[in-house]
Amino acid sequence: MIRERYLNLGVLALLLALALLARLADQSFTITVLTKVVILALAAAGLNIALGLGGLVSLGHAVFFGLGGYAMGILAFHAQNFAPLELGPLTIAGSKSMPVIWLTAIAVSALAALVIGLLSLRTSGVYFIMITLAFGQMFYYFSISWAAYGGEDGLSIYIRNGFPGLNMLDPIQFFGICFAVLCLVLLFSDRLARSPFGLALNAARQVPVRVETVGLSPMRLKLLAFVISGAITGLAGALYADLNRFVSPTMFSWQLSGELMVLVILGGVGRLIGPVVGAAIFVALEQLLGGLTAFWQIWLGVILLLIVLFARGGVVGLIAPKGVGHD
Amino acid sequence: MSTILIIEQVLNGLQFGVMLFLMAAGLTLIFGVMGLINLAHGSLYMIGAFAAATVAGATGSFLLALAAAMAAAALTGALVEMAVIRRLYARDHLDQVLATFALILIFSEGTRWIFGSLPLYLNIPSWLAGPVALPGGIQYPLYRLALIAVGLLVWLGLWWLIERTRLGIQIRAGENDREMIAALGIDISKLYTLIFALGAALAGLAGALVGTIQSVQVGMGEPVLILAFVVIVIGGIGSIKGAFVGALLVGLTSTLGGIFLPELFKLFTDPATAQSAGASLASMSIYILMSLVLIWRPTGLFGARA
Amino acid sequence: MKKLLMAAAVMALSAGLAAAEVKVGMITTLSGGGAGLGIDVRDGFLLALKQSGRDDIEVLIEDDQQKPDIAVQIADKMIQSDKVEVMTGIIWSNLAMAVVPGAVAQGVFYLSPNAGPSQLAGAGCDKNYFNVAWQNDNLHEGAGAWANQTGYKKTFILAPNYPAGKDALTGYKRTYKGELAGEIYTELGQTDYAAEIAQIRASDADSVFLFLPGGMGISFLKQYADSGVGKPVIGPGFSFDQDILGAVGDAALGAVNTSQWSKDIDNPTNKAFVESFQKEYGRLPSLYASQGFDTANLLISALDKAQPSDADAFRAALEAAEFDSTRGAFKFGPNHHPIQTIYAREVVKEGDVLTNKIIGTAIENHADAYAAECKM
């Protein structure tokens, strides 16, 4: 256990150090790449709560990532065009403030996760994988044809949104804020896993009957985990949209759901730092292999395959074995 | 809207459905017997289409092309099963999803590496080209009628295979009780390779048949794969009968939804908006159908186990 | 991400007067289903550079995988780390909308070799954004005009349900004077058109207009030819160009399509381009290759007069557009989009190869509909 804690802190420290080094060397693109790692790690950390803690294999987490993205896109779009958003009797002016956007992203994704979770958790196993995929497809097709917000063209936001007291246009400051959010979420995940709720959830995943006999509903535990998970991935979506200053239906695509899953498994399911390690490796492969060959995705496929076949428990599992692999 | 048009659209839905069945049958067999969720099934569909286009281009024979498609897909399937897939049977769905997702990347980019980025040419042979007149004055493409016939034949063939042959007994035994087939002295790993190759051959056949009237290009398998998953989930995973009913439901919903939803919306709003809104809802319709089915019956229409 | 660092030939044209290096960033689609278009734009662009013999232009090429977020990240990298001054290459409108506004806001010049979304032609136009291909609606407007000339009175129109599809139908209706026999939005990425073809058969249409790019068009044309419906087909050049004709086969024969370029446009530049492209790459050039070629020549003509660092002079040089285009005369309108002639072409067979032949002029010196909204 101690070893894993050192590893967790080491990985985070390394990320921060790399970003600061890049700042000193005036390599702003490296900071952008590291910010991408942090945000993808955040999205995967969200998924990891459903996947690792709750045992819920969701192939539809792009829904929350996309909703977070569109929460940012729509609010900023109305603010930048000075065209208030009319929602029946309610008029919203739009917003370019990150805290407002984040709260909206979290609220919208949590609500969506509640509805999707309520419906999907009636099923299990492959059916659960597929029904979450189906919800993802519904959002995807809807967003493609929703002309008011650009449809397939997506929405461009010309200037990154602001955070009180900081200059978000400076890459290192934006990295800093994303990094801080990631650390907070990881701390929260850690606490959550050790809390009575986390322990009960773990039990519900392994022996549902035992949980029921002590008067807890496995369904409710899982639903709560799914909602928390969706909310965090939604927050990551809002940040990702801000990184690119752009949202589009690809954020809802099933490939993105698949990629998020890849990040978690690559790093190690249910391991606190797994999503961070997974995201770092994924982005590094994308950047490095891409420079070597036009067909780099073949090699990405081969590496993923080798990890699944021969490194159960992901990369974190290789470095800091838990004694038991993930189930 | 005339009756003729409606009948024609039902035929279209049926044709779409039986082609989905070819894909779904393999998926559901593989899941039912081996408990494996195979995202790379769409790649086998693509391999079938590419093999057919290559052989048709070289020999000019459509039947040879179909045979090549099935052979190439079955061979690829068998090799992949022996090299990779069999290591995944004992794993959870998560590992299976990731490993077969990795296989998609390898197959898609590998195909692009070999064949380039431009779509390939594959067309209907002259003896199946053109429309025929059906009773009631319906003009319907002969090729699509042939597709319906092939789909129904495959369904019958599979039914016969599973209900009436020794292999079928083994498959059914495998679905019910994995230890039992081992106890019966059946070579499980051979049986698994065989089933996987059979499913792959059906996917390859579907790829060649459908590729003939569509675009043979890299990435053609993924949209079909998702639809095939919708089909087997609606039908109940592991059930051939479920796959057949699910395929027809999805085929008809998708085709008829695309026609009638815009018409329905025209009753409430202007034509352009109705077209657009109707088309949006139509593209979501099968996913809505699937969610409704699962909410009503969490293991699909004919599914036994969770 | 792919990086093909291409330093141009070493030979200096004017000894002693070697100009400063100009870095050009090209983001285009080189992998996945849409790679054919990006490869053609890239090859056309590089061919023009090679022919110019210049050594002062460095082109950085990266693959956007047809994903907007990847395109944005590459653009950030090219602008922030590589300090490119000119960008080009994007094929798809949704990627252009993701990249272009941010790039030009940071003072980079963007020359579009393909995508021309209406926003960037109208209210969202920018003094540093130039479109060398067309505004997205142009070819559809040409098709509408050609339908009038041909005497079509009732067209059945269809396109995928996404912004470019809606623009296409709007563009056709803008110039087309007849009635509509039907108007259908299909699903994006749809591959089976049996239902739509049945509706066309049941309608009293005298012609069919379609905008179905890539694999969608291939599927439709094959199925349409087999259905025996036989009503004449008209569409924008994208669905009938060199990159997909081979896959459609004889099913495309006789289809009329509109384009600002064709390989038989009779001028010396175009003849030399078609010949040298075939020699260099062993295939016929497409619409996209001609656009990549023109884009590079526009850039070279501007670099002859000014450096991008002198933004005002460079912009004036681009606006003047004094280069030999494969389309013949070339000029920009006030919103930096071409004012050009759109031709009607017909798909024909030359020997074993399917290709296009000009059959007439659809619309002459045509400017896009959004120029008035552009305030530069």
Q: What is the DSSP string of chain B?
A: --HHHHHHHHHHHHHHHHHHHHHHHHHHHHHHHH----TTHHHHHHHHHHHHHHHHHHH--HHHHHHHHHHHHHHHHHHHHHHTGGGTTTS-HHHHHHHHHHHHHHHHHHHHHHH-SSPBP----GGG-SEEEETTTEEEEHHHHHHHHHHHHHHHHHHHHHHHSHHHHHHHHHHH-HHHHHHTT--HHHHHHHHHHHHHHHHHHHHHHHHTTS-B-TTTHHHHHHHHHHHHHHH-TT-HHHHHHHHHHHHHHHHHHHHHHHHHHHTTS-HHHHHHHHHHHHHHHHHHHHHHHHHHSTT-SS----
Q: What is the radius of gyration, based on Cα positions, of chain B? A: 20
Q: B12 to chain C, minimum CA–CA distance in Å?
A: 6
Alpha helices in C134-267 (DSSP H): 138-150, 163-175, 194-202, 215-227, 242-248
Mutate to test the interface with B, among C187, C221, C239, C250 (most CBs of B within 10 A): C187
* C36 vs B contacts (CB less than 8 Å): 117-119
8 Å CB contact of B112 and A145 = no
8 Å CB contact of B109 and A133 = no
CATH classification code of A2-319: 1.10.3470
Checking if the pLDDT of A88 tops 80, the result is: no
pLDDT of residue C371: 92
pLDDT of residue C15: 37
pLDDT of residue B93: 84
pLDDT (tens digit per residue) in C306-347: 999 999 999 999 999 999 999 988 999 999 999 999 999 999
Q: Where are the domains of chain A?
A: 2-319
Q: How confident is the model at residue B119 (pLDDT cuts 50, 70, 90)?
A: confident
Q: Nearest to residue A150, comparing CAs of C98, B147, B105, B93? A: C98
Q: How do strand C256-259 and strand C331-332 relate by DSSP bridges?
A: unpaired
Task: Name residues 190-209 of chain C within 8 A of B (Cβ).
Answer: 191-192, 194-196, 198-199, 201-202
Contact with chain B for residue C228, Cβ under 8 A: yes
Cβ neighbours for A211, distance < 8 A, ≥ 6 positions apart = A200, A203, A204, A217, A218, A221
Position C186, amino acid: T
pLDDT (tens digit per residue) in B126-142: 999 888 988 888 889 99
**Could you tell me how far CA A211 lies from the centroid of its own chain?**
29
Q: Nearest to residue C89, comparing CAs of C60, C127, C123, C52? A: C60
pLDDT (tens digit per residue) in B72-101: 999 999 999 999 999 998 888 888 988 998
Q: What is the mean pLDDT of the segment spanning B57-69?
A: 95
pLDDT of residue B178: 67
Structure tokens at C205: 């249409």
Checking if the pLDDT of B273 tops 90, the result is: no
**A282, A264 contact by CB (below 8 A):** no
pLDDT of residue B306: 41
What is the distance between the alpha carbons of residues C43 and C289, in angstroms, rounded to a whole number? 7
Q: How confident is the model at residue A322 (pLDDT cuts 50, 70, 90)?
A: low
Residue B184 CB burial class (10 angstroms; 0-12, 13-18, ≥19)? exposed
What is the distance between the alpha carbons of residues C103 and C86, in angstroms, rounded to a whole number? 9
pLDDT of residue C9: 34
Name the residue facing B275 among C39, C185, C192 (closest C-beta). C185
- Provide the greatest CA pair distance for chain A: 60
Instruction: Please report the ipTM that was assigned to this predicted complex.
Output: 0.85
Residue B182: CA count within 13 A, CB half-sphere: 4
Instruction: Output B261 or A112, whichever has higher pLDDT.
Output: A112
DSSP letter at A163 equals B
Structure tokens at C26: 């090209």
Contact with chain A for residue B257, Cβ under 8 A: no
pLDDT (tens digit per residue) in A42-67: 999 999 999 988 889 999 999 999 99
**A234, A63 contact by CB (below 8 A):** no
Most confident range (mean pLDDT) of A275-289, C57-71, C298-312 is C298-312
What is the distance between the alpha carbons of residues B234 and B252, in angstroms, rounded to a whole number? 14
Name the residue facing A301 among B103, B279, B287 (closest C-beta). B103
SS (H, E, C) B106-140: HHHHHHHHHHCCCCECCCCCHHHCCEEEECCCEEE
Most confident range (mean pLDDT) of A105-119, A130-144, B32-46, C211-225 is A105-119
Residue owning tokens 């470095």: A319
What chain C holds in terms of domains, given with CATH numbers, is 3-134+266-338 (3.40.50.2300), 138-259+341-373 (3.40.50.2300)
Residue owning tokens 């490869």: C39
What is the distance between the alpha carbons of residues C143 and C240, in angstroms, rounded to a whole number? 13
Q: What is the mean pLDDT of the segment spanning C108-118?
A: 93
pTM, 2 dp: 0.85
pLDDT of residue A324: 43
For chain C, give the percent of residues with pLDDT over 90. 69
Q: What is the mean pLDDT of the segment spanning A313-327?
A: 67
Residue owning tokens 């530069």: C376
Name the residue facing C189 among B15, B131, B223 (closest C-beta). B223
Please provide the average confidence, as pLDDT, over all residues in chain B.
89
8 Å CB contact of B295 and A119 = yes
Checking if the pLDDT of C13 tops 50, the result is: no
pLDDT (tens digit per residue) in A115-130: 999 989 988 888 899 8
DSSP secondary structure string, C249-283?
GGGGTT-EEEES--TT--SHHHHHHHHHHHHHHSS
Q: How confident is the model at residue C11 (pLDDT cuts 50, 70, 90)?
A: very low
Q: How do strand C338-350 and strand C256-259 relate by DSSP bridges?
A: antiparallel
pLDDT of residue C43: 96
What is the distance between the alpha carbons of residues A28 and A19, in angstroms, rounded to a whole number? 9
Instruction: Output A189 or C12, whichever has higher pLDDT.
Output: A189
Name the residue facing A154 among C1, C97, C185 (closest C-beta). C97
Q: C256 to chain B, minimum CA–CA distance in Å?
A: 20
8 Å CB contact of C185 and B220 = no
Q: C64 to chain B, minimum CA–CA distance in Å?
A: 15
8 Å CB contact of A156 and C97 = yes
**C64, C70 contact by CB (below 8 A):** yes
What is the distance between the alpha carbons of residues C336 and C331, in angstroms, rounded to a whole number? 9
* A245 vs C contacts (CB less than 8 Å): 72, 102
pLDDT of residue C233: 95
DSSP secondary structure string, A79-108?
HHTT-PEEETTEEE----BHHHHHHHHHHH
Contact with chain A for residue B106, Cβ under 8 A: yes
Checking if the pLDDT of B36 tops 50, the result is: yes
Q: What is the radius of gyration, based on Cα positions, of chain C? A: 20
**Could you tell me how far CA A116 lies from the centroid of its own chain?**
17
A291, containing H or E segment:
helix A274-292
8 Å CB contact of B117 and C39 = yes
Position B79, amino acid: L
Q: C341 to chain B, minimum CA–CA distance in Å?
A: 29
pLDDT of residue B304: 66
Q: How confident is the model at residue C7 (pLDDT cuts 50, 70, 90)?
A: very low
> What are the strands, taking DSSP E only, across chain C?
6-7, 22-28, 57-63, 86-88, 109-112, 129-131, 154-160, 179-186, 207-210, 233-236, 256-259, 331-332, 338-350, 353-366
Q: How confident is the model at residue A318 (pLDDT cuts 50, 70, 90)?
A: confident
Contact with chain B for residue C218, Cβ under 8 A: yes
Structure tokens at B279: 């088309």
Checking if the pLDDT of C17 tops 70, the result is: no
Q: Where are the domains of chain B?
A: 12-221
pLDDT of residue B14: 95
pLDDT (tens digit per residue) in A210-253: 777 777 888 899 999 999 999 999 999 999 999 988 898 999 99
| Core vs surface per residue C32-48: b (16+ CB within 10 A) or e | bbbbbbbbbbbbbbbbb
Q: What is the mean pLDDT of the segment spanning C62-76?
A: 87
Please provide the average confidence, as pLDDT, over all residues in chain C.
89
Checking if the pLDDT of C3 tops 50, the result is: no
- Reduced to 3 states, what is the DSSP secondary structure of residue A162? strand
| Core vs surface per residue B114-140: b (16+ CB within 10 A) or e | ebebbbbbbbbeeebeebeeeeeebbb
What is the distance between the alpha carbons of residues A159 and A231, in angstroms, rounded to a whole number? 25
Between the CA of residue A246 and those of C68, C96, C97, what are the distances in Å? 8, 11, 9
Q: How confident is the model at residue C8 (pLDDT cuts 50, 70, 90)?
A: very low
Q: B289 to chain A, minimum CA–CA distance in Å?
A: 10
pLDDT of residue C20: 60
Q: C35 to chain A, minimum CA–CA distance in Å?
A: 11
Position A177, amino acid: I
Helices (H) and strands (E) counted in chain C, each on its own, are 12, 14
pLDDT (tens digit per residue) in B202-221: 999 999 999 999 889 888 99
8 Å CB contact of C32 and B215 = no
For chain A, give the percent of residues with pLDDT over 70. 97
Q: Nearest to residue C3, comparing CAs of C22, C23, C27? A: C27
Phi/psi for A134 (5° steps) reads -65, -40
What is the distance between the alpha carbons of residues A285 and A281, in angstroms, rounded to a whole number? 6
What is the distance between the alpha carbons of residues B253 and A142, in angstroms, rounded to a whole number? 17
Checking if the pLDDT of B4 tops 90, the result is: no
Name the residue facing B106 among A147, A258, A302 (closest C-beta). A302
What is the distance between the alpha carbons of residues B185 and B187, in angstroms, rounded to a whole number? 6
Q: What is the mean pLDDT of the segment spanning B63-79?
A: 97
Alpha helices in A25-57 (DSSP H): 28-48
Position C311, amino acid: A
Task: Name residues 149-168 of chain C within 8 A of B (Cβ).
Answer: 161, 166
Bridge partner residues of C344 (DSSP): C258, C360
8 Å CB contact of A244 and C69 = yes
Most confident range (mean pLDDT) of B37-51, B129-143, B278-292 is B37-51
Checking if the pLDDT of A294 tops 80, the result is: no
- Reduced to 3 states, what is the DSSP secondary structure of residue C125? coil
What is the distance between the alpha carbons of residues A249 and A13, in angstroms, rounded to a whole number? 34
**Which of A33-37, A175-179, C153-157, C191-195 is the least confident region?**
C191-195
